Amino acid sequence: MKKIDEEALAEAYNRALALEKSGDIDAAVAAYRQVLEIDPEDHGGAAVRIAAMGRGETPPKAPDAYVETLFDQHADSFENILVEQLGYAVPVLVRQRLQDLKLGPFQRMLDLGCGTGLTGGTLRDMVEDITGIDISENMVEIAHEKDLYETLYVAEVEDFLEDNDDEAFDLVTATDVLPYLGALEPLFFGVAENMVSGGIFVFSSETLPDDVFAGRSYMVGPHQRFAHAESYVRQRLTETGFEVLELTDINVRMQDGNPTPGHLVVARFKG
């Protein structure tokens, strides 16, 4: 692997950010493309930023190197930022919906994108055995210290689902995972392959008005996070063998003082 010129990369990235902030989109896109030439693995998420500005093709997912770097850097302050500053309460909403729908208790739970353990901790008393997966080693270390999970893996979600040969799960959660994925087929097929018949799949997604999607299934929103059209989510679940039990409009989190519209989906795998 070619060694990255860190100084050149920092200079190019800072220039691109400054151009983007100034509103010079053409120059910013050119600068971000220079960033990609220096760092093809895209630790800074340049491809996602280009897509957020409406240029180039929308990538099928955020680059693994970008997601790993982002969460490794913010692991220590993750919960304070997400819960206290951004008002993130999706794990609590997941628990409420499972209880209201009279689902559970569960034997084996797979917590995709487990982070520091917010969802695992919220559902701990409803599940016998929990496995957590996250691409960020620093996040997994914090989750491990909480002693919430029977098993923890450092892995990219889609790769884990494809390679896993452990016993199937009757509950799979993916809170704050879809904002880093565009195309949902690999995720949904992977979950189906790792789930018992009748198992429950719960996840959150972010969305935008239909006129903004303009017929697209998914797109990168203004904050470099993927948004998904409700029709696309429903269609892909059906095609993968899931029955949607409930799709609820939620505020995923606050961003710059404004709510982030999204969905909380509870689906059952028909097998």
pLDDT in tens, the chain (271 residues): 557 888 899 999 999 999 999 999 999 999 999 999 999 999 999 999 999 999 988 999 999 999 999 999 988 887 887 778 778 899 999 999 999 999 999 999 999 999 999 999 999 999 999 999 999 999 999 999 999 999 999 999 999 999 999 899 999 999 999 999 999 999 999 999 999 999 999 999 999 999 999 999 999 998 899 999 999 999 999 999 999 999 999 999 988 888 999 999 999 999 8
The structure's pTM equals: 0.94
Domains, the chain, ordered by start: 6-59 (no CATH), 78-269 (3.40.50.150)
pLDDT at 2: 59
List all residues 6 or more positions away from 59 whose beta carbon is below 8 Å from its beta carbon: 47, 48, 51, 182, 220
d(CA 137, CA 115): 9
pLDDT at 32: 95
**CA distance to 69, 88, 92, 190, 253, per residue, from 83 (Å):** 20, 5, 11, 29, 9
**CA distance to 35, 46, 88, 140, per residue, from 67 (Å):** 17, 12, 19, 14
